[in-house]
Structure 1
Amino acid sequence: MTGSTPAGPVPAGAGTGRRPGLAAGSARPPAEVHDVALLDLDGVVYVGPDAVPGVPAALAVARERGMRLGFVTNNAARPPEEVAGHLCDLGVPAVPDEVITSAQAAASVVAGMLGTGARVLPVGGPGVAAALRAAGLTVVGTAEDGPEAVVQGYGREVGWAQLAEAVVAVRNGARHVATNTDATIPSPRGPLPGNGAMVRVVRDVAGSEPLVTGKPDPAMHAECVRRTGADRPLVVGDRLDTDVEGAHRAGAASLLVFSGVTDPALLLAAGPPHRPDLISADAGGLLVPHPPVTGGDGATWTCGRWAATAGDSGPLELRATEGEDGDPGDGLDGLRALCLAAWARAPEGSAPQVRAADGEARRALAAWGLAAR
């Protein structure tokens, strides 16, 4: 199979009936419930050149339990062969056919619109041009070569010269296609400019809105489902606006991890398309059960030994309901309760204030980077 094959719809078995929502949790580890994990890479499997600590071992255990892995990345800089090689170097065995990049999705879309052989100007890392060639498109180097489309993806070497060629080509009538519009990418130094920042340069100067083909468009996840034959896929990602929304649009369940760009404050403010089914510190969450969240009177939500209360107005309140220090499980039960309280009070999403009812709650909020009031 090749990345140039257009993705079809997600199979019926991966449809909307399999999204339980954060309140339901998962009584069994997700690796035992879902047959395939569709893993984002940046911020999930690795940050920069290095693996997220513990994740290669966790993915190995998930495979031992029968879960298959697919790798779905909005980063278009590298071809699948190079991505698979990097994963192998990090201790995550992978082959190119298990990797779906946004460059492949863009190339499929352009080939479908313009036909094979169409002239296309790539902007980005080597993965962009490689995907275009694999889809049967003709790669050109300048605006003067008469490209019918510009495909723009992330590349660390992208600079003024490439952006200028893209602007001229788009002004001359070329279709502007962006592999993704992620504003940032995670790094050991914190978030850095992503492809979306460069796409905005071309959009603003050329005055033309790009066609965006990467996540959250469901084509990438659908293609990975097709390749793996998944019946119960689980999208594992670190971004609300691409991974979680993409899972919703593809009819798949989602696991949000905090090893990349999303933090608890962003999660609490999430609107309905950006609310995951499960949360975890990292991809090790595939291996453990996830507790449910219950709401007794509609204003108070409980998870484990934590309760979160949301009145009609004012801050949400978190308190420990029993025992002394310590939170059994993964340490996120209180955050799960806070999420349901926040989402119940603000169905469309908004940034809530949070206060602690006791010292233990104050320490928990500090650990999640939430200001305790």
Structure 2
Amino acid sequence: MTAVAGERLVDGYALVVFDLDGVIYLIDRPIPGAVEAVGRLHAEGKAVGYATNNASRRSSEVADLLTGMGVPARPEEVLTSAAASAELLRDRLPAGAPVLVVGAEALRAEISAVGLRPVSRADEEPAAVVQGYGPQVGWVDLAEASLAVRAGAPWYATNTDRTLPSDRGPLPGNGSLVAVLRTALNREPDVVVGKPEPALFATAARRAGSGRTLLVGDRLDTDIEGARRAGLDSLLVLTGVSDVPELLAAPESRRPTYVSFDLAGLFDSAAVVRVPGEPEFAGWSVDLTAGGLTLRGAGRPLDALAALCAVAWSASAGPQVRAASPEAEEALAALGLSV
């Protein structure tokens, strides 16, 4: 039994929204198959979107980055947390209202683009404060934001990612800068727009009209949880951060609708599975023992994963799995599980 009974997963959705890092590219190189998958979606006339917590680039800059990698993208297909924050503020504030911006020039540009007026000082009586990552953000910026929030301005954060990736390793992200204000103000932001909060994906889904939206991501704690909070179906691809052990231990709030090894699962029903399955599923059976889970049988590794999820999630069991057959050993190895 496959996830979609022989039909292509992508055919059930009007819009496919991709996370970027870990799904479309890793740092600065496209993930194998990503260029072909996006090109195929465009060729078939399927609506495509990209959603990223990055607030330091405008949508046009992200589109240029993707296109330069060979992944065709238009600015209107890209939704950043900066753009989503600006759209949210536009809907809540009168035209021309002053907004104190803490972050990169891209965030200021997005605020201007929706008809609001970016300002830098609390004494300009901002109607809101919006905070995003910017490499030049310093104490003066945070001090002005602190004063404005204490004076009553609502505080919006584009995202709360603690770190951001670099070729030198993780670096402080916007969440680390938000933590400075959180400490100074002894309170949380009024609104967090980026993943895993639902606003980013909800904004993307509205662009699909009445059709269904599928979110494709590689992280359970941001992409998949964000999709669930927004009421969207999700596909976890195992090309980035989250792996099978993390999936088996995932709380309900971080469980995807489907799993595939890569983006081939969008088009090939044999390369994707709906999770969870059943304890006895497509040639596999899983038993709960004192030592964890025991997998026996034969079949596709992804079907084995669906059966493992069924038992692990129902029993809150950890990712310790034992193989009871040579075929089970091969499946667990394919899933990256120790045997």
TM-score by length of 1: 0.78
Taking structure 1 as reference, are residues 287 and 125 closer, same or farther at Cα in structure 2, changes over 3 Å only?
A: farther
The SS at the match of 1:82 is: helix
| Equivalent of residue 74 in structure 2, options 92, 95, 102 | 95
Determine whether 1:308 maps to 2:286.
yes
After superposing on structure 2, the runs of 4+ consecutive aligned residues of structure 1 that deviate more than 6 Å are none
| Structure 1 counterpart SS, 2:155 | strand
Which amino acid in structure 2 is aligned with residue 285 of structure 1?
A: G
Root mean square deviation, CA, Å: 2.9
User: What's the CA shift for 1:361?
Assistant: 4.1
Q: Which residue of 2 aligns with 1:318?
A: 295
Partner Cα separation in structure 1 for residue 324 and residue 155 of structure 2? 52
**Distance in 1 (alpha carbons) for counterparts of 2:208 and 2:117:** 29
One-letter identity of the residue aligned with 1:208: R
Q: In the alignment, which residue of structure 2 is the partner of 1:355?
A: 322
Judge which range, 189-198 or 284-293, deviates more. 189-198
2:258 matched to 1:278? yes
Shift of 1:248: 2.6
Residue in structure 1 matched with residue 97 of structure 2 by the alignment: 118
- Deviation per residue, 1:199-246 (Å, 9 max, x gap): 222212221210212334444333333334351321111222332233
Asked whether the equivalents of residues 120 and 141 of structure 2 are also in contact (C-alpha less than 8 Å), the reply is no
Matches of 2:59 and 2:78 in 1, distance apart? 6
Q: CA deviation at 1:69?
A: 0.6
1:89 alignment partner AA: G
1:232 matched to which residue of 2?
Answer: 212
Residue 73 of structure 1: aligned partner: 52
Aligned residue for 2:313?
343
- Cα displacement (A) at 1:371: 4.3
Q: Is the 8 A contact 1:237 1:256 kept in 2?
A: yes
Match of 1:235, as an amino acid? L
Amino acid of the residue matched to residue 343 of structure 1?
A: W
Match of 1:241 in 2: 221
The structural deviation recorded for 1:46 is 2.0
CA distance in 1: counterparts of 2:209 and 2:99, whole angstroms: 32
Give the whole-Å Cα distance in 2 for the aligned partners of 1:117 and 1:364.
Answer: 59
Summarize the alignment of residues 161-176 of structure 1 with structure 2, pairs less than 5 Å apart.
161-176=140-155
CA offset digits 1:34-82 (Å, max 9, x no partner): 2320112222212222222221112112333442211122221211111
Q: 2:83 aligns with which of 99, 104, 108?
A: 104
Q: Name which of 187, 208, 221 aligns with 2:187.
A: 208
Distance 1:334 1:201, change over 3 A: farther
> What whole-Å deviation, never above 9, does each CA across 1:325-349 have from its counterpart, x for those lacking one?
xx75xx5333232112211223xxx
Tell me the residue number matched to 1:13.
Answer: none
Name the stretch that deviates more: 118-127 or 203-212. 118-127
Letter in 1 for 2:322: R
**Residue 201 to residue 370, structure 1, CA distance change in 2 (3 Å):** farther
For the 8 Å contact 1:244–1:276, the answer to whether it is kept is: yes
Q: Distance in 2 between matches of 1:34 and 1:187?
A: 34
Structure 2 Cα separation of the partners of residues 301 and 163 of structure 1: 55
**Counterpart residue identity of residue 260, structure 2:** S
Q: After the TM superposition, which of the residue ranges 232-241 and 77-86 deviates more from structure 2?
A: 232-241
TM-score by length of 2: 0.85
Deviation at 1:369, TM superposition (A): 4.5
Q: CA deviation at 1:363?
A: 5.6
User: In 1, distance between residues paired with 2:254 and 2:160?
Assistant: 16
Give 1:140 deviation, angstroms: 1.7
Are the structure 2 counterparts of residues 143 and 56 from structure 1 closer, same or farther at C-alpha, using a change threshold of 3 Å?
same
Q: Distance in 2 between matches of 1:339 and 1:189?
A: 35
Question: Match of 2:62?
Answer: 83
Asked whether the equivalents of residues 277 and 306 of structure 2 are also in contact (C-alpha less than 8 Å), the reply is no
* Aligned AA (1:315): G
Structure 1's unaligned 5+ residue stretches are: 1-22
Equivalent pairs, count? 334
Report sequence identity in percent.
47
Deviation at 1:132, TM superposition (A): 1.0
Deviation, structure 1 residue 315: 0.5
Q: Is the 8 A contact 2:273 2:302 kept in 1?
A: no
CA distance 1:181–1:359, shift in 2 (3 Å): farther
**Paired position in structure 1 for 2:3:** 25
1:56 aligned partner: 35
SS in 2 for 1:310: strand
The 8 Å contact of residues 185 and 261 in structure 1, kept in 2 or not, is answered as no
The 8 Å contact of residues 309 and 316 in structure 1, kept in 2 or not, is answered as yes
Q: Deviations over 1:139-192 (max 9, x none)?
A: 122445443432112334445554444344434443221112233445566655
Determine if contact 1:140/1:147 at 8 Å carries over to the other structure.
yes
SS at match of 2:250: coil
* Greater RCO, CA 8 A, separation 6+: 1
2:202 to 211, 216, 222: 222
